[in-house]
């Protein structure tokens, strides 16, 4: 079907092997200080999860201003963490606190374990919804982004599950699909393209239920916490913190940002050019999503294009947010083995698979080029849309 008739599993197997070994190495290096009872980069085991757990504990006590003011939030962290001056921030909208509130009943380590298990379960379940294949589950478990999220105490697996499940259920269960998209508002920048896609594809029922669930989620947070938590969120404007970070931030965390904005900023130290590049990227990505959802009959291709474009539309994105991209790579690798790959596609899939793991090192060496990989993936997907738009791939 595609340009390259001859296919081989060898390069894909090598990529999986390299990714898995690299992930194990990362897991050890990132946590070895904890094994000795020490801090690591000013953080305790679970790293960023401490921010969320501290925030939800404060929410249960009604201390909303302390949640969204980084200087006040860190004052509630352990003494040894406080002394390091490490960045300590909780920027998620208040509905996130409603979702995490049950964890306020447990100590930190117990909450960390519960959250990790829950995230993995949701991530695996999203695969089972689409296709009950043990191989898919195994691939997701050994993916580099899975290790990144567990080690860093992040929510990338959970948000990926929401995005993937919402897309998979678009046609079979549009109401549930919309509800899942509404819950995804806990991380709004991952859902920027969802309304664009739903409108372009004519998924009116899913769009309606996404709006309803978003409003319900908002109302639930008001019922649980009152309006004070939203006032605190708006008053401290976490989006200003994010903007300041991507424009003026320093340190290794910048190399975890695979956005076009960050690439241009790191290469040319020019924020105006970075914003222009990001705007162009967002427009092109939106156009690709609109075209795909209007022309393609393949739900897999629609989902793949939307997921890939998501990482090109927001200037604020992290490596651990790219867990949903694993589904795209698994889907396209399987289709490629069945029907043939486009020239270079296998290599591209392998690079994209290990990209979240190696982007910090490569970026530090002066090559923060990973949006190019995402852009190439999007180009390949749109090409497939174009040549299969009259077929169900």
Tell me the pLDDT tens digit for each residue of 21-75: 999 999 999 999 998 888 988 899 999 999 999 999 999 999 999 999 999 999 9
Q: What is the pLDDT of residue 35?
A: 86
- The 3-class secondary structure across 139-186, one letter per residue, is HHHHCHHHHHHHHHCCCHHHHHHHHHHHHHCCCCCHHHHHHHHHHHHH
Q: Which of 118-132, 269-283, 349-363 has the highest mean pLDDT?
A: 269-283
Closest CA to 2 of 302, 300, 341, 375: 341
Whether pLDDT at 171 is above 50? yes
Whether pLDDT at 199 is above 50? yes
Cα–Cα separations (whole angstroms), residue 153 to 114, 208, 320, 342: 11, 33, 10, 37
Express as a percent the part of the chain with pLDDT over 70. 97
Whether pLDDT at 163 is above 50? yes
Per the CB < 8 A criterion, the answer to whether 338 and 231 are in contact is: no
pLDDT tier at 391, thresholds 50, 70, 90: low
Residues 6+ apart with CB under 8 A from 154: 48, 49, 148, 318, 320
Average pLDDT, the chain: 94
| Total domains present in the chain | 1
Q: What is the pLDDT of residue 84?
A: 86
Q: What is the pTM of this model?
A: 0.95
Q: What is the pLDDT of residue 1?
A: 47
Whether pLDDT at 390 is above 70? no
Q: What is the pLDDT of residue 132?
A: 83
In this prediction, residues 174-192 reach a mean pLDDT of 97
Closest CA to 290 of 190, 212, 385: 385
Report the alpha-carbon distance of residue 313 to residue 307 in Å, rounded.
Answer: 10
In this prediction, residues 94-107 reach a mean pLDDT of 97
Q: What is the pLDDT of residue 237?
A: 85
Tell me the pLDDT tens digit for each residue of 302-343: 999 999 999 999 999 999 999 999 999 999 999 999 888 998
Q: Which of 127-131, 189-193, 373-377 has the lowest mean pLDDT?
A: 127-131
In this prediction, residues 236-255 reach a mean pLDDT of 90
In this prediction, residues 190-200 reach a mean pLDDT of 98
In this prediction, residues 346-360 reach a mean pLDDT of 94
Whether pLDDT at 106 is above 90? yes
Structural domain containing residue 284: 5-84+93-391
Per the CB < 8 A criterion, the answer to whether 213 and 178 are in contact is: yes
pLDDT tier at 85, thresholds 50, 70, 90: confident
Q: What is the pLDDT of residue 393?
A: 43
């Amino acid at each position: 079907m595609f340009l390259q008739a001859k296919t081989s599993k060898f390069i894909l197997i090598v990529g999986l092997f390299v990714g898995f070994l690299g992930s194990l190495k990362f897991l050890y290096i990132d946590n070895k200080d904890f094994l000795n009872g020490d801090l690591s980069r000013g953080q305790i085991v679970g790293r960023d999860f401490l921010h969320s757990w501290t925030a939800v504990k404060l929410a249960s006590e009604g201390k909303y201003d302390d949640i969204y003011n980084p200087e006040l939030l860190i004052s509630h962290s352990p003494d040894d963490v406080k002394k390091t001056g490490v960045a300590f921030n909780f920027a998620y909208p208040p509905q996130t606190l409603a979702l995490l509130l049950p964890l306020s009943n447990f100590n930190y380590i117990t909450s960390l374990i519960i959250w990790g298990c829950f995230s993995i379960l949701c991530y695996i379940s999203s695969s089972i919804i689409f296709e009950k294949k043990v191989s898919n589950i195994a691939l997701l478990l050994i993916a580099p982004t899975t290790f990144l999220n567990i080690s860093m105490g992040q929510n990338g697996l959970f948000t990926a599950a929401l995005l993937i499940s919402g897309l998979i259920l678009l046609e079979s269960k549009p109401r549930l699909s919309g509800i899942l998209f509404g819950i995804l508002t806990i991380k709004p920048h991952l859902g920027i393209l969802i309304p664009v896609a739903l409108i372009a594809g004519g998924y009116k029922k899913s769009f309606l239920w996404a709006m309803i669930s978003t409003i319900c989620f908002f109302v639930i947070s008001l019922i649980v916490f009152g309006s004070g938590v939203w006032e605190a969120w708006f008053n401290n404007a976490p989006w200003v913190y994010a903007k300041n970070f991507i424009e003026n931030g320093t340190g290794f965390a910048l190399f975890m940002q695979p956005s076009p904005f960050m690439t241009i900023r790191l290469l040319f130290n020019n924020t105006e050019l970075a914003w222009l590049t990001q705007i162009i990227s967002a427009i092109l990505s939106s156009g690709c999503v609109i075209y795909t959802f209007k022309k393609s009959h393949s739900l897999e291709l629609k989902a793949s294009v939307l997921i890939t474009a998501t990482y090109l539309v927001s200037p604020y994105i992290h490596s651990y947010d790219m867990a949903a991209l694993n589904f795209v790579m698994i889907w396209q690798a399987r289709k490629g083995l069945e029907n043939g790959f486009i020239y270079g596609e296998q290599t591209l899939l392998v690079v994209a698979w290990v990209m979240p793991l190696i982007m910090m090192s490569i970026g530090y060496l002066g090559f923060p080029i990973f949006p190019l990989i995402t852009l190439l993936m999007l180009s390949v997907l749109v090409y497939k849309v174009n040549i299969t738009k009259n077929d169900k791939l």
